[in-house]
Chain A
Amino acid sequence: MKVLLTFWVLGQNLSTNLKTRNLSTSFEFLGRTAGFQVAEGSAFGVPYSSEDSYLKAIVVGLFNTLRVSLLGIVLATILGVMVGVARLSSNWLVNRIALVYVEVFRNTPLLVQLIFWYFAGVLTLPQVKQAVQFGGAYLSNQGFFMPWLVQKPDSISFVPVWIVAIVLALATFVILERRRVNLGSNEPAGWLAIGVLLLVLILGYFVLGQPLELDLPRTTNFGIAGGASLSPEFAALLIGLVVYTASFIAETVRAGIQAVNKGQWEAARAIGMSYSQTLQLIVLPQALRVIIPPLGNQYLNLTKNSSLATAIGFPDMFNVLNTAGNQSGFNLQTMLIALLVYLVLSLIISSFVNLYNRATRLVTR
């Protein structure tokens, strides 16, 4: 009863306050001119300027968030799995180094790590003129620039070739694996599939009249031009998110593999399967069941943590919404948009995890 009373009082206060402060709850401000610059990013490939609407600014921010989150998820998974497996290595050095990595990065706040990577890392890189170079890439305090393959102007799109290459490679892999199981043949399916991929890509390149060229970064009077670039803010945010999240993923992977009953290892080794066969065919399929749900959770955390971009000036969606809110005075609306978008992203990731869980359930009575 008392709980209800408290709620009622709070609700009353809320409504009177809203009325007296004359706050509108409309979203029409979204159409107005934003009047502020968003440092990087574009909406659907269309660049943004301060003449554009608030809505467009927010969409740009959303794209930035998605960019850093997706890339972060992929890289963090790769790094996390590597470190997780290293944690199980019989090599004492590798094992302990992975342990130190995990404990250090899990036990310090992400914000502190981001401050380090940005202010003490990327921003302390040399100026453009003395940028660190390796392999054709330039690392400077104005960002990372690396060679990138770009479409030559007025040339045929290379995208279809990629699609054909990937499809053929997958098909090769699946067919060869089937043959191996059914007929006991011995071709290395994985390597051959990669070979097919490369072959199709190279053939496609020449057949279409060499539509791609290498865009090399080079120093100019105004800085570095060319190639694909990562702004210092994006680079620092990405590194921070990946290193932090990978440490959690590593623990999840380790726990998942160790959760598989030791008896499974013994039974597989007892019929003569090798360490890698056991891992690949018996342990990992069972471990994945335990790993995927918390892994999905980590992906969710990474996406939410990308909002810390506010601290280092990267214009992710939250940062943009914050600016938009302060600039226009419609903080309530911008915060609501933030809530909504993050909720939708959470829901999307959760449903993927649930789907996977459903598809791989162990069959019991």
Chain B
Amino acid sequence: MTQPTKDLSNAPKIIMVEHLNKFYGTFQALKDVSLSVQQGEVVVVIGPSGSGKSTFIRCLNRLEEHQSGRIMIDNTELTNDVRNIDSIRRDVGMVFQSFNLFPHLSVLENITIGQIRVKKIVKSEAEKIATELLERVGIPEQAKKFPGQLSGGQQQRVAIARALAMKPKIMLFDEPTSALDPEMIAEVLEVMKELAKSGMTMVCVTHEMGFAREVADRIMFFDHGQIIEQATPEDFYNNPKSERAKLFLSQILGH
């Protein structure tokens, strides 16, 4: 099923990556990666483990440092300058595979702490925004509970709300459902789909093909640190062009 086609022809390029190289010691994790993402675009990154897809996405908010090449987020270059990094991070939200909620703070506090401490928003205002977000992700009644009391799916939805509270321009998802029990994956994907349809620019590393087919504008296939193939979901899943993509798809579709 294809989504109603978005008109991205006039959308500015909000992420631009040029000749990105990243090394861990002598091991090269990313090889000469170049791409751009337009505002409002939903990009799904897939590939075998060790292909560099997580490394790539973590470079986008400087959780990993690149050795050469350029990353431009909303026309600002991502460099070593600490102030620059912090300001970019406010515009880029991230959702982690292991949720990483703050266990000593309540659900509401998890969502408001960034607003209060980083954006200097008044507490009452922050709580209002937080409550709206909790409704948006479907769990408003959990506001006063602590992360340890929630299920995995609920925790991940709180994590998404926490990232959204900062009103980012881009949302990065690093395998958001990989650590969840099967019956909880759907509730998180629902939230992500709604987010995509609302026009958020998203870059997601995920294995969930149903999700990709439904909302992705573009699939990027990574292998051994390089982008092997880029295509629309339809084209990629039905007509993979490269050998490696074909091999990969046969492996995950096999079972």
Contact = CB atoms under 8 A, between A and B. Distances in A.
A and B touch in the complex (CB under 8 A): yes
Given A183-B122, A266-B63, A271-B93, A362 B148 contact: yes
A365 interface: yes
Interface string A260-289: 010110111111111101000110011000
A274 to B, nearest CB: 6
Interface in A210-233: none
A270 B93 contact: yes
Interface in B88-118: 89-90, 92-94, 96, 98, 100-104, 113-114, 116-118
A71 B130 CA distance: 46
A184 B121 CA distance: 6
A363 interface: yes
A362 B121 contact: no
A272 B100 contact: no
A364 interface: yes
B149 interface: yes
B22 interface: no
Nearest to B116: A181
A182 interface: yes
B246 interface: no
A88 B227 CA distance: 37
Contacts of A362: 103-104, 146, 148
Interface string B157-190: 0010011011000000000000000000000000
B123 A271 contact: no
Nearest to A288: B104
Interface in A331-365: 362-365
Q: Is the interface of A mostly helix, strand, loop or mixed?
A: helix
Nearest to A184: B122
A273 B114 contact: yes
B101 A267 contact: yes
B102 A270 contact: no
Contacts of B123: 181-184
Nearest to B86: A272
B121 to A, nearest CB: 6
A272 B116 contact: no
B104 A286 contact: yes
Residue in B103, B116, B122, B165 whose Cβ sees the most chain A Cβ within 10 Å: B103
Nearest to B101: A267
Contacts of B149: 363-365
B61 interface: yes
B120 interface: yes
A274 B90 CA distance: 11
Contact of B148 (A184, A261, A363): A363
Contacts of A363: 146, 148-149
**Size bracket, chain B contacts:** 35 or more
Contacts of B163: 270-271
Contacts of A282: 102
A181 B114 CA distance: 12
Residue in A186, A272, A277, A363 whose Cβ sees the most chain B Cβ within 10 Å: A272
A286 B147 CA distance: 14
Given A182-B124, A281-B113, A261 B118 contact: no
Nearest to A180: B116
A94 B162 CA distance: 36
Interface string B76-96: 000000100011011011101
Contact of A182 (B119, B120, B122): B122
Contacts of B96: 263, 266-267, 270
Contacts of A267: 94, 96, 100-102, 159, 162
Contacts of B119: 272
Contacts of B101: 267
Given A263-B96, A274-B86, A363-B149, A184 B103 contact: no
Contacts of A364: 146, 148-149
Contacts of A184: 116, 120-123
Given A282-B102, A362-B103, A271 B114 contact: yes
Residue in A184, A273, A364 whose Cβ sees the most chain B Cβ within 10 Å: A184
Residue in B61, B113, B163, B166 whose Cβ sees the most chain A Cβ within 10 Å: B113
A273 B104 CA distance: 17
B122 A271 contact: no
Contacts of A182: 122-124
Nearest to A282: B102
Given A266-B63, A267-B96, A281-B113, A272 B104 contact: no
A303 to B, nearest CB: 30
A364 B149 CA distance: 5
Interface of A: 181-184, 186, 261, 263-264, 266-275, 277, 281-282, 285-286, 362-365
5 contacts: A184-B120, A263-B96, A270-B96, A272-B119, A273-B114
Lowest 7 CB-CB distances: which A-B pairs, in order? A364-B148, A267-B100, A263-B100, A271-B114, A272-B90, A363-B146, A270-B94
